[in-house]
Chain A
Amino acid sequence: MRFAVLQLTGCAGCEVSLLNAGEELDLAKLAYMPLVVTAHDVPGVDVLLVTGGIRTDEDLLKLRESASRVKKIIAVGTCAISGGVAGLGDRHDIRELFLANTHQGRVPRMLPKCRPIDTEVKVDNYLPGCPPVPSLFVQLLNEPESLKSTSIVCKECGRRKPKDVRPTTLAHEIHKDADPELCLVKQGQLCVGTSTRNGCGAICPRAGFPCVGCRGPSNNLIEKDANAWFSSLIKVFAHMTDIDSQEISEALKSPHLALFLFQFSDYSDTELESRPKEKVL
């Protein structure tokens, strides 16, 4: 199976992660990926992985051209799925500031919004993560049938959640891992592993840092809108802690969480329906 990687506007982290899976992949079949392969255009391949969002007119052109030559398209990473970190600029005040800063020379023209790739081309599968960890790429390319996320990050984390430990306030700035066996939520931290799809091996909470949800919502939330997702998270915190739900609700709106939590639900100004969960890996 020949494959290619089209890099739109992103940070190259997704490509670097793929490279780390290199020992288990047959990269001689990698026909195009500007980061490591010199080739002019996306050739006809079986699978095209697209990383990054549509930020410029050039991104748009390259995506449309390549799509016509490939059999299957997979959106890889938050940027391709929702616009990602560049999408944080899609606030009205910032957009004006941003566009005023993009100059008039002969450079790729900025579109008003950094868009997900499925607003332009038909996407066969989504592989969420910022970036998806290398083992997910191995599964995706070597045994795609085996790649089904059915659970949540907590299952891979394995920290204890004793019923009688109930923090009453959020430990905001302080990311201390006082007890490496104890669930971070039980330590008053805003870990969203309880609703995030599994597959990453819980690398962040295992290292002592709360999950920010980069893999996106788990299957039972993925087709629902942002509000359902939001209230479900608040319910989880009410169940596990005695922290005021107003405080949780404010904290969940933080940009670094919102960026990932709602990567599947921001269709407010498009005609698109939510992504069917069968397509999300």
Chain B
Amino acid sequence: MTTTIQFPISRIEGHAKVVVDIDEGKVRNARFLAQEYRGFEQFLQGMPADQMPVIVPRVCGVCSTSHHIAAVEALEHAYGITPPPVAEEIRHLMMVGQLVQNQATSLFFFTLPDKLQATSIFGADEKIGHDMLGSISKMAMAVRKIGTELISVAGGQFIHPVKAVVGGVVSGIDPTAAKAMRAKIKEALPLACSLFDEYWQLTRKMERSVGKWEDNDPFYYMVAVDKNDPTRPVDHVTMQKSDGSETITFRPRQYKEFLQFHRVQDSYSSKTSFNDLPIRANSLARMNLAESTGTPIADGYLERFRVEFGSPAHQILLFDLCRGIELINGLERADRILAKNLYDGEMNVPVVPRDGCGFGLVEAPRGPLIHHYQIENGLIVRAEFVIPTVHNNFSIERALTSMAKRYVHEDRIDMGLDRAMGWVVRAFDPCIACATH
């Protein structure tokens, strides 16, 4: 007889649940199912291509910046346009702001409560004393806000940014605003480090009480960033086998030749595989494949990480620690970008729209994101979104299945199963609005 247990998952972006199928006291499998859908790929058909940078950020309010920029890049690719370098810097700053915002949200608002047995960061305040800003939730909010302020400075507004346009950006960053922002980063950096140190200790403590979450069967890591600056996007996707034995790269326009897409019964999200194996994108992939973060404090954390956990490190729990390293790296990187001249010179080049097809690739916080548009008479006839969470789905389910086995026995199911399913999902920080779009 098959028993099915369902768990709705909170503290992630969007609506999803985990379903565990149990046969005669044995876990058959655990599934991660997306429960919402809006249909962007359908309703964008027939819309003016030049409006994509305004409409598609609404795919997701958490990682809207990635969609905003991927849209602009896909159109530039279709029109054959290269934006001026200063515009690229400002877009990069927007993405770094988003990385800071996202990693702070995931670390402190989504997963920290698990490590303190609280239902939310606001509830965690009572469990942990702090004297700096009064409470851990206030500290976390202050650090997270640096990310959103960076997006605002570079993108005009932080939820659905507007400043990236085909050909460049609408305006530069005023030196006074840049200076003020750098001062805020300087203030936030030690705060972020002390929060992260605390988080690191709590992760170790959790590891001691629940054990390692290993998954040593083969899979592929997936990234689209520079090895020496993992905040900087590159023009190709890299797939590396978990044992390091194989590395393959492809261009965004080749994604269908390299990735296999699987539709899923009972879910509005599909799943992708590579060479018939699961894929892992997101922080752990970037940190494992990086030679250096390119900034000193984050490099210190990366070194410590490698000493403590090895390199490459595959434990599921380590996605979170890598997010912390990236949070610090993002703050340091943003400071360096803001030190440049982001004000003088041409912010955009002339644009002559044309029909055809374009691909945009960015590294979103959750991994490589591709937008693909086909344009006829200035209108979208086909829009495709290749979403990082979709790449992680097989890995999420494999990790869920192995975790569930610890809690399900012939004669009983341990109480903690509900909580443990949430831990595993949150380690991957999935985004359901993006995955289903």
Q: Which residues of A contact B (CB under 8 A)?
A: 7, 9-17, 19-20, 22-23, 27-28, 30, 34-40, 55-56, 58, 84-86, 88-89, 91, 94, 97-98, 101-103, 105-108, 110, 114, 130-131, 133, 172-177, 180, 203-204, 206-209, 212, 254-256, 259
At the interface with chain A, which of B43-51, B208-216, B247-255, B403-411?
Answer: B43-51
A105 to B19 alpha-carbon distance, docked (Å): 14
B353 CB contact (under 8 Å) in A23, A85, A173: A173
The contact sample of 22 A-B pairs, CB cut-off 8 A, is A7-B15, A11-B59, A12-B14, A16-B62, A20-B158, A23-B142, A37-B122, A37-B123, A38-B10, A85-B58, A98-B43, A114-B38, A131-B159, A172-B50, A173-B50, A174-B167, A175-B165, A180-B171, A203-B152, A204-B162, A207-B162, A255-B55
A89 touches B42 (CB 8 A): yes
Interface residues of B in 33-64 (CB under 8 A from A): 33, 35-39, 42-48, 50-51, 54-55, 58-62, 64
B42 touches A98 (CB 8 A): yes
Given contacts A175-B165, A255-B51, contact A38 B11 (CB under 8 A): yes
A12 CB contact (under 8 Å) in B61, B113, B163, B167: B61
Complex interface: chain A residues within 8 A of B37 (CB): 9, 55-56, 102, 107, 110
Q: A14-B61, A107-B33 are in contact. List 6 more A-B contacts (CB 8 A).
A: A94-B42, A94-B46, A105-B266, A107-B266, A255-B47, A255-B48
The binding surface of chain B is classed by DSSP as loop
* Top-8 shortest CB links A-B: A13-B61, A207-B156, A208-B170, A89-B43, A208-B171, A209-B162, A105-B266, A105-B265
A120 to B204 alpha-carbon distance, docked (Å): 48
Complex interface: chain A residues within 8 A of B166 (CB): 173
A-contact 0/1 string along B333-353, CB 8 Å cutoff = 000000000000001101101
B266 touches A86 (CB 8 A): no
Within 8 Å of chain A (Cβ to Cβ): is B273? no
Given contacts A16-B62, A174-B167, A254-B51, contact A37 B120 (CB under 8 A): yes
B58 CB contact (under 8 Å) in A11, A176, A203, A208: A11
Complex interface: chain B residues within 8 A of A58 (CB): 35
Chain B nearest CB: distance from A257 CB in Å?
Answer: 9
Complex interface: chain A residues within 8 A of B138 (CB): 23
A1 to B256 alpha-carbon distance, docked (Å): 52
Which B-chain residue is minimally distant from A96 (CB atoms)? B42
B113 CB contact (under 8 Å) in A38, A108, A176: A38
Complex interface: chain A residues within 8 A of B265 (CB): 103, 105-106
Within 8 Å of chain A (Cβ to Cβ): is B121? yes
Given contacts A23-B142, A89-B43, A107-B266, contact A256 B35 (CB under 8 A): no
Which A-chain residue is minimally distant from B140 (CB atoms)? A22
Within 8 Å of chain A (Cβ to Cβ): is B148? yes
Within 8 Å of chain A (Cβ to Cβ): is B82? no
Tally of B interface residues using CB under 8 Å: 74
Count of CB-CB pairs between chains A and B under 8 Å: 196
Complex interface: chain B residues within 8 A of A91 (CB): 43, 46
A23 touches B141 (CB 8 A): yes
Complex interface: chain B residues within 8 A of A208 (CB): 156, 163, 170-171
B122 CB contact (under 8 Å) in A28, A55, A85, A108: A28
Which B-chain residue is minimally distant from A172 (CB atoms)? B50
B267 touches A105 (CB 8 A): yes
Given contacts A19-B109, A97-B42, contact A11 B348 (CB under 8 A): no
A89 CB contact (under 8 Å) in B38, B60, B162, B350: B38
A131 to B60 alpha-carbon distance, docked (Å): 11
A17 to B167 alpha-carbon distance, docked (Å): 29
Within 8 Å of chain A (Cβ to Cβ): is B145? yes
Given contacts A22-B141, A28-B122, A255-B51, contact A94 B43 (CB under 8 A): yes
A207 to B157 alpha-carbon distance, docked (Å): 8
Which B-chain residue is minimally distant from A251 (CB atoms)? B48
A-contact 0/1 string along B86-104, CB 8 Å cutoff = 0000000000000000000
B11 CB contact (under 8 Å) in A11, A30, A34: A34
Interface core residue of A22, A101, A259 (most chain B CB under 10 Å)? A22
